[in-house]
């Protein structure tokens, strides 16, 4: 019989459009490890990075994917008394701020410019905090690629619009003092750097260029990046049954709608951005309607919710 962690991993890793089966297979088992790392810590403080800016969108805005993952994780963790700090960069600030404003509890917010210096300054600040971060999660956050620059899936260089938040995960001569978790769906996100190069190069278009070079202690690969974040929240609940009612209190369709509504209608987050069609403001994530994502939330909640 499959464990709750295995069921959640399977639900998150299902194929949507592109076959990422080998990426998912490589990361199997990491969901449980990441969840237990948070669940078993005596005083966790979770930093969550989100925001993937798309200059070619109408209007230029961050994608919706990643934002709902941030919101659901933050809602559940803070309800359980776990401190959360949201982290992003200036181009994505409005959307991330909008998400934090509809959450049930206060969430810290750190915004940097797109320069490497600003990221390293934030790193020093986080390390010196009286309650330092213990776990850092990146959800659908573009990583530096093989040429040292971040790229969209089409190969476009987006370094002018994207802070190298990779430097909160790893940097020359510096090792992160917190556990790191990367969540993504396309091979070019922070955390994917632990994948064997041939998997991304062969299975992902433009893989040789866009493949992430930044790794993580735990990599979670999902059909939609948000689903990996949902699975992580549910897995923490599975690891801590005593906290499950609080962790899952807001893990439902209403919260999913409210977060996406804030991201789109206040934060101007967009979806469906392709080379031949700029992304636009719409209540979808990865070209899937809200109802599809609500169904995933409900499925995962049912796996771990106490009867």
Give the DSSP H/E element, type plus range, for residue 89. strand 83-89
Between the alpha carbon of residue 41 and those of residues 18, 34, 187, 283, the distances in Å are 36, 11, 29, 36
**Rounded Cα–Cα distance for residues 295 and 248 (Å):** 15
Query: Which are the contacts of 212, defined by CB distance < 8 A and separation ≥ 6?
Result: 143, 144, 145, 182, 184, 187, 188, 189, 190, 191, 192, 193, 195, 200
**Rounded Cα–Cα distance for residues 256 and 253 (Å):** 5
CATH number at residue 248: 3.90.1640.20
Q: Tell me which residue of 74, 128, 97 sits closest to 266, measured CA to CA.
A: 97
pLDDT for 278 equals 64
Q: Tell me which residue of 260, 245, 253, 252 sits closest to 307, measured CA to CA.
A: 245
Going by their DSSP bridges, the two strands 108-112 and 61-62 should be labelled as unpaired
Between the alpha carbon of residue 150 and those of residues 61, 167, 211, the distances in Å are 16, 13, 9
The total of other beta-carbon atoms located within 10 Å of residue 262's CB is 22
Q: In which region does residue 225 sit, left (phi positive, over 0), alpha (psi from -120 to 50) or beta (all else)? A: alpha
**How many domains does the chain contain in total?**
1
Q: Which residues of the chain have pLDDT under 70?
A: 272-279, 306-307
Question: Each residue of 167-196: pLDDT tens digit?
Answer: 999 999 899 999 999 999 989 999 999 999
Print the domain residue range for 224: 4-304
Going by their DSSP bridges, the two strands 135-139 and 179-184 should be labelled as parallel
Give the DSSP H/E element, type plus range, for residue 213. none
């Amino acid at each position: 019989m499959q464990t709750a962690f295995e069921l959640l991993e399977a639900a998150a890793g299902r194929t949507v459009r592109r076959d990422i089966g080998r990426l998912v297979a490589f990361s199997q088992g990491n969901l449980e490890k990441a969840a237990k790392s948070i669940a078993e810590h005596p005083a966790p403080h979770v930093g969550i990075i989100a925001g993937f800016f798309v200059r070619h969108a109408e209007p230029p805005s961050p994608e919706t994917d990643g934002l709902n993952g941030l919101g659901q994780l933050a809602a559940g963790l803070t309800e359980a008394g776990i401190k959360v700090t949201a982290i992003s960069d200036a181009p994505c600030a409005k959307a991330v701020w909008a998400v934090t404003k509809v959450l049930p509890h206060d969430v810290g917010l750190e915004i940097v410019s797109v320069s490497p210096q600003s990221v390293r300054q934030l790193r020093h600040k986080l390390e010196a905090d009286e309650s330092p971060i213990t776990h850092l999660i990146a959800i659908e956050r573009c990583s530096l690629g093989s040429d040292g620059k971040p790229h969209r899936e089409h190969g476009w260089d987006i370094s002018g619009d994207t802070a190298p938040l990779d430097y909160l995960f790893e940097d020359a001569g510096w090792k992160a003092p917190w556990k790191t978790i990367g969540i993504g769906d396309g091979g070019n996100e922070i955390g994917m750097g632990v994948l064997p190069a041939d998997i991304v190069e062969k299975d992902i278009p433009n893989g040789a260029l866009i493949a992430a070079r930044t790794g993580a202690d735990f990599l979670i690969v999902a059909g939609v990046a948000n689903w990996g974040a949902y699975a992580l929240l549910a897995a923490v609940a599975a690891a801590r049954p005593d906290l499950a009612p609080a962790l899952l209190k807001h893990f439902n369709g209403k919260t999913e709608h409210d977060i996406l509504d804030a991201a789109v209608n206040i934060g101007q987050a967009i979806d469906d951005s392709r080379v031949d069609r700029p992304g636009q403001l719409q209540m979808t994530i990865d070209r899937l309607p809200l109802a599809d994502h609500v169904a995933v939330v409900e499925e995962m909640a049912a796996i771990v919710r106490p009867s």
